[in-house]
C-alpha cells in the first residue's frame, strides 16, 4: 500500500500536493445553492465536472443531488460557453421548472473568461428567463480555494442578487450558518426558536439533503430558505456570521449593500463557542435565555465533568475545514486534551494558524493551503503519534495504517451515516461529539486492556 511508504521525514513542499485535504470550489457552491428553496444548481462547464460535484455530495448525504451542466465540448472550449449557457437556461426552465437557477463556474469557463453577468443579462433580454424566475451566479475557479471558498462565494451571490433594504428595519437577526451539515443548520434554527428570536437563515440545506423518504420523488424538497426570506435579510437589524472563512464575505456584502451590521463568531461547536452564539442571540434578539437551553448547557457540563479523566492529556491530530477545526480545537482544549497538529487544505491564512496556537499552545503544528495535504498530515502523525485522529473519510486509511482511533468530522464522510441527522453544533451537538470521542477512546481501552483490567463499568 502506498501509505506504507510515508515517512516522518517532513519536507516543506511548495509545488506538489499529494492527496489534497479539500475538495474544489464548485462542490461548496452547489451545496450552498441547494439551501435555496426551488433552486437548481448549474455547473457552467463540462458534464464530467458536474458529475463529480454531484457524486461527491450524493455520496456524502446518501441523497440524490440534482444539478445541471452547460455540457462544454471542444467548441465551447475554443469559442466560449455563452451559447451553451443560454440554451441551458432555456431548456432548464422548460423541462425542470425551478424557481431559481444558481450558476457556478468551473476551471474551464474561468480560463476561457466567460462573462457571467453579461450572459445572464443577455438571457433576460432574449426572454429565456420566464417572468418571476431568477438566475444567479458566482465565480468558483477550481484551481484556487476549496469547497469552503465556493460555499462562501455562492452565499455572497445570494446577497448580491436577492437582498434588499426597503428602509423598514425589522427586529430580526440574519444567520449565515457556514459550511455545516443540514443537521447543524436545523439545530441552529431550533436554538433560535427556543429563545424566541426571529431569524432569517441562508443558505439552509435542512430538509433538502436530509429529507424524509415518503415514496415520492421531489425535484425540489420543502426545505431551504425562500428567495423572499433572503430578500428580507436586507431589512434585518443584525447579521450573525458563523465561521470566518465561509460566512464573513456574505455578511460584509450585506452590510455594504443594505447597511446591516454584523459580527463573526466561531461555529457554535462545544461549550464556549455555543455560549458566545447564545449570548449574542440573546443580546440582538432582546430576549432571555430560556430554562430549556440552560438545561442543555448543564447536561453538557455534567458529562464534561464526569468523563474528564478519559479526555485528560489525550493527544489529538485534526484535519478538515478551518471553521470547524477552530471550534473543535477550542472544545478539545476545554476537555484538557492536547493538540498535536491541525491541518486544512483550505487556504486559511496566518490568522487561522495564530488562533489555533493561542488555543492549543505554541508546540502545535498548524498548516493550511495546498501543500497541507493528507500526505503531510500522515507524516505528522508518524512523527508524533497521537491517541486519536479527527478527520474526514480519507483519514481512515491513515487511522488503519497507524492503528489509531478516528472520529469522523468535516467533509466528505462517505463511509458512515448520521452527520446528516445529528448535529455537532449547540449544546446537544457538543454532547454528541463527546460521545463519539469517548466511544473511540474507551473501545480502544477495552481492546488493549489486560484481562484483569477489562472492567464492566468505567
Distance CA 157, CA 172 (A): 21
Share the mean pLDDT of the chain.
Answer: 96
Instruction: Please check whether residue 314 is in contact with residue 338, taking contact to mean a CB–CB distance below 8 angstroms.
Output: yes
| 151 closest CA partner among 263, 33, 64 | 33
pLDDT at 101 over 70: yes
Is residue 2 predicted with pLDDT exceeding 60? no
Q: Other C-beta atoms within 10 Å of 274: how many?
A: 28
How far is Cα 144 from Cα 19, in angstroms, rounded to an integer? Answer: 16
Model confidence band, residue 458 (pLDDT cutoffs 50, 70, 90): low
Whether the per-residue pLDDT at 113 is higher than 50: the answer is yes
272 versus 7: the higher-pLDDT residue is 272
Confidence of residue 406 (pLDDT cuts 50, 70, 90): very high
Q: Is the pLDDT of residue 364 over 70?
A: yes
| Rounded-to-integer distance, Cα 135 and Cα 85, Å | 11
pLDDT value of position 4: 74
Angle, CA of 42, 26 and 31, to the nearest 5°:
75
Q: Would you call 107 a catalytic residue per the annotation? A: yes
β-strand 262-265 against 238-242: which pairing, if any?
parallel
Cell of 158: 445570494
Cα pseudo-dihedral 28, 33, 36, 39, rounded to 10: -150
At residue 153, the pLDDT reads 98
**What was the pLDDT predicted at 1?**
47
Tens digit of each residue's pLDDT (9 = 90 or more) over 234-256: 999 999 999 999 999 999 999 99
Residue identified by cell 517532513 is 10
Is 80 exceeded by the pLDDT of residue 172? Answer: yes
Reported as a single tens digit per residue, the pLDDT across 181-202 is 999 999 999 999 999 999 999 9
Domains of the chain, earliest start first: 2-18+307-451 (3.40.50.1980), 25-162 (3.40.50.1980), 173-210+217-294 (3.40.50.1980)
Judge contact between 127 and 142, C-beta under 8 A. Answer: no
- What pLDDT, on a 0 to 100 scale, did the predictor assign at position 13? 86
In degrees and rounded to multiples of 5, residue 286 shows phi and psi of: 65, 40
HSE at residue 236, side-chain half, CA atoms within 13 A, is 32
**pLDDT tens readout for residues 52-66:** 999 999 999 999 999
Radius of gyration of the chain (CA): 23
pTM: 0.96
Gap between the terminal Cα atoms of the chain: 37
Give me the catalytic one of 49, 50, 103, 107: 107
Query: Quick check: is 365 catalytic?
Result: no
Examine the pLDDT at 3 and tell me if it is beyond 80.
no
User: Which parts of 279-401 are beta strand (E)?
Assistant: 315-319, 338-344, 365-368, 388-391
Query: How far is residue 242's CA from residue 155's CA, in Å, rounded to a whole number?
Result: 13
Mean pLDDT of 259-288: 98
pLDDT digits (tens, 9 = 90+) for 142-159: 999 999 999 999 999 999
Average pLDDT over residues 40-53: 95
Amino acid at each position: 500500500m502506498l501509505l506504507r511508504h510515508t515517512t516522518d521525514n517532513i519536507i516543506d513542499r511548495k509545488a506538489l500536493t499529494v492527496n489534497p485535504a479539500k475538495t474544489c470550489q464548485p462542490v461548496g457552491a452547489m451545496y450552498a445553492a441547494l439551501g435555496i428553496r426551488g433552486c437548481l444548481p448549474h455547473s457552467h462547464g463540462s458534464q464530467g465536472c458536474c458529475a463529480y460535484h454531484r457524486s461527491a455530495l450524493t455520496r456524502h448525504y446518501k441523497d440524490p443531488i440534482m444539478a445541471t451542466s452547460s455540457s462544454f465540448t471542444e467548441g465551447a472550449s475554443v469559442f466560449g460557453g455563452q451559447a451553451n449557457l443560454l440554451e441551458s437556461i432555456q431548456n432548464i426552465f422548460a423541462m425542470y421548472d425551478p424557481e431559481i437557477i444558481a450558476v457556478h463556474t468551473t476551471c474551464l469557463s474561468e480560463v476561457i473568461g466567460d462573462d457571467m453577468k453579461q450572459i445572464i443579462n443577455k438571457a433576460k433580454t432574449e426572454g429565456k428567463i420566464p417572468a418571476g424566475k431568477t438566475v444567479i451566479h458566482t465565480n468558483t475557479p477550481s484551481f484556487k480555494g476549496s469547497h469552503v471558498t465556493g460555499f462562501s462565494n455562492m452565499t455572497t451571490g445570494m446577497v448580491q442578487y436577492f437582498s434588499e433594504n426597503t428602509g423598514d428595519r425589522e427586529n430580526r437577526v440574519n444567520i449565515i450558518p457556514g459550511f455545516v451539515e443540514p443537521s447543524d443548520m436545523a439545530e441552529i434554527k431550533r436554538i433560535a426558536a427556543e429563545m424566541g428570536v426571529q431569524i432569517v437563515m441562508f443558505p439552509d440545506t435542512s430538509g433538502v439533503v436530509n429529507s424524509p423518504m415518503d415514496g415520492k420523488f421531489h425535484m425540489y424538497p420543502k426545505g431551504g430558505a425562500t428567495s423572499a426570506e433572503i430578500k428580507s435579510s436586507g431589512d434585518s437589524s443584525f447579521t450573525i456570521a458563523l465561521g470566518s472563512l465561509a460566512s464573513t464575505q456574505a455578511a460584509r456584502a450585506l452590510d455594504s449593500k443594505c447597511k446591516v451590521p454584523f459580527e463573526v463568531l466561531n461555529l457554535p461547536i462545544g461549550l464556549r463557542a455555543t455560549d458566545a452564539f447564545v449570548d449574542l442571540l440573546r443580546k440582538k434578539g432582546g430576549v432571555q435565555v430560556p430554562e430549556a437551553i440552560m438545561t442543555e448547557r448543564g447536561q453538557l457540563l455534567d458529562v464534561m465533568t464526569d468523563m474528564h479523566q478519559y479526555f485528560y492529556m489525550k493527544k489529538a491530530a485534526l484535519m478538515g475545514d478551518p471553521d470547524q477545526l477552530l471550534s473543535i480545537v477550542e472544545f478539545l482544549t476545554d476537555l484538557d486534551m492536547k493538540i498535536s497538529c491541525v491541518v486544512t487544505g483550505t487556504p486559511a491564512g496566518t490568522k487561522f494558524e495564530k488562533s489555533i496556537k493561542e488555543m492549543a499552545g505554541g508546540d502545535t503544528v498548524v498548516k493550511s493551503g495546498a501543500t497541507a495535504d493528507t500526505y503531510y498530515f500522515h507524516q505528522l502523525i508518524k512523527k508524533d503519534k497521537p491517541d486519536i485522529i479527527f478527520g474526514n473519510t480519507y483519514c481512515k486509511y491513515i487511522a488503519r495504517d497507524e492503528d489509531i482511533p478516528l472520529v469522523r468530522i468535516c467533509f466528505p464522510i462517505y463511509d458512515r451515516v448520521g452527520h446528516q441527522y445529528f448535529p455537532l453544533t449547540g449544546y446537544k451537538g457538543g454532547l454528541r461529539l463527546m460521545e463519539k470521542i469517548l466511544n473511540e477512546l474507551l473501545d480502544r481501552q477495552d481492546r488493549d486492556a489486560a484481562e484483569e483490567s477489562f472492567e464492566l463499568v468505567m
